[in-house]
Amino acid sequence: MIFQASANHLTGNVLVLFQPDFSPNAIAWLLQNIVLDYTRVHKQLPPSSAPEFIPSKSLSRVVLSDTTVNQWRSQLIPVAAAFSALSLGAALLHINGLDTSILLTLQKLHTPLLDRLMVGITSLGEPPLLILSCLTWEALLLYRRRRLQATIFGMAAVGAISLNYLLKELFVRARPALWDYIINVNHYSFPSGHAMVSMVVYGCMGYSLSKEFPQWRSQIFTLTVTLILAIGFSRLYLGVHWPTDVIAGYAVGLVWLTACVVNQACQASKSAELKTELGGVLV
């Protein structure tokens, strides 16, 4: 528990070093018990007296509780599982050479009606519409004085676009050329920018909406996932991406989305703690 302890008899200062695996919450409670024991001896406080000078609420604001840490860990487990599944799926498709077979199978589904539908769906992931959606969402967040959410959302969108560009330049994978395209495409194929950026942008929007309207969380989640998957499928249907491109785009986008959401939650928690501390000082 205690790694090292030293004291200065002239100043009365005491230095205590704890083991690295000793949690901050446990340290806080240990210090509280030491102070309580000292106070009971000198002031003859009854054992059941509640400490007025170190309330439990203050402790929860000063240190990150083990409950919060465990909660985040439990939420990140499904994300890690999804990322692993996507990565494994992309690897298996590539190793077994199934990219071409899947696209040729999808080509058999083509009809004029489905072509128009898929072009409309894929347009939801096109840069002009995504930029317009991002600017509109940013303006809405700023109008509602959600500056933290606006900052994180902007960082998420710009980061996703930049990261996707860098990955495309790194892998320089050519797009499929199995049939004539009915839409215009450019740049490299891996990973899919539509899949990756849509995952981040629409994922952030869905997360914010689910926090704003918790009673509709399931419906918001379902609609968000359906939209993201539909955009990815449209890229396959139109033959402008290999399946591994789309899966990899989802995997990288999911990681970046999770990082941004966790960052937003941590920043919001710190802001709430600071306001509480300032409120306590003013009172």
- What are 4's strand-pairing partners? 17
Are residues 92 and 38 both part of a single domain? no
Q: What tokens were used for 177? A: 């050329």
Specify the pLDDT at position 179: 86
HSE value, Cβ hemisphere, 13 Å, CA-based, for 198? 30
Assigned domain for 282 exists: no
Are residues 206 and 95 both part of a single domain? yes
Assigned domain for 206 exists: yes
Q: What tokens were used for 40? A: 């009971």
Are residues 107 and 232 both part of a single domain? yes
Q: Which of 62, 89, 109 is the last residue of a domain?
A: 62
Assigned domain for 281 exists: no
Rounded distance, CA 186 to CA 265, Å?
36
Q: Which of 62, 90, 113 is the last residue of a domain?
A: 62
Answer whether 141's CB lies under 8 Å from 237's CB: no
Assigned domain for 31 exists: yes
Answer whether 55's CB lies under 8 Å from 206's CB: no
Assigned domain for 280 exists: no
Q: What tokens were used for 224? A: 């968000």
Q: Which of 17, 35, 62 is the last residue of a domain?
A: 62
Residue 91 CB coordination number (10 Å): 13
Rounded distance, CA 141 to CA 149, Å?
7
Specify the pLDDT at position 175: 92
- Count of structural domains, the chain: 2
- Tell me how far CA of residue 74 lies from CA of 61, 67, 77, 79, 103, in angstroms: 22, 11, 5, 10, 37
Assigned domain for 278 exists: no
Are residues 12 and 147 both part of a single domain? no
Are residues 71 and 206 both part of a single domain? yes
Are residues 133 and 240 both part of a single domain? yes
Per-position DSSP letters for 18-68, written without gaps between them: E-TTS-HHHHHHHHHHHHHHHHHHHH---TT---SSS-HHHHHHHS--HHH
Specify the pLDDT at position 46: 54
Tens of each residue's pLDDT in the chain, 283 residues: 555 556 555 555 566 666 666 666 666 666 666 656 656 665 554 554 444 444 444 444 444 445 555 555 566 666 666 667 666 766 766 666 688 889 999 999 999 999 999 999 999 999 999 999 999 999 999 999 888 899 999 999 999 999 999 999 999 889 998 888 889 888 899 899 999 999 999 999 999 999 889 999 999 999 999 999 999 999 999 999 999 999 999 999 999 998 898 888 877 766 655 555 445 444 4
Q: What tokens were used for 21? A: 């695996």
3-state secondary structure of 194: helix
Specify the pLDDT at position 61: 47
Name the residue range of residue 21's domain: 2-43+53-62
Are residues 98 and 17 both part of a single domain? no
Are residues 201 and 84 both part of a single domain? yes
Assigned domain for 48 exists: no
Assigned domain for 277 exists: no
Are residues 139 and 207 both part of a single domain? yes
H/E run at residue 276: helix 243-282
Are residues 33 and 124 both part of a single domain? no
**DSSP summary character for residue 182:** S
- Tell me how far CA of residue 189 lies from CA of 95, 152, 236, in angstroms: 18, 27, 12
Are residues 251 and 210 both part of a single domain? yes
Are residues 123 and 34 both part of a single domain? no
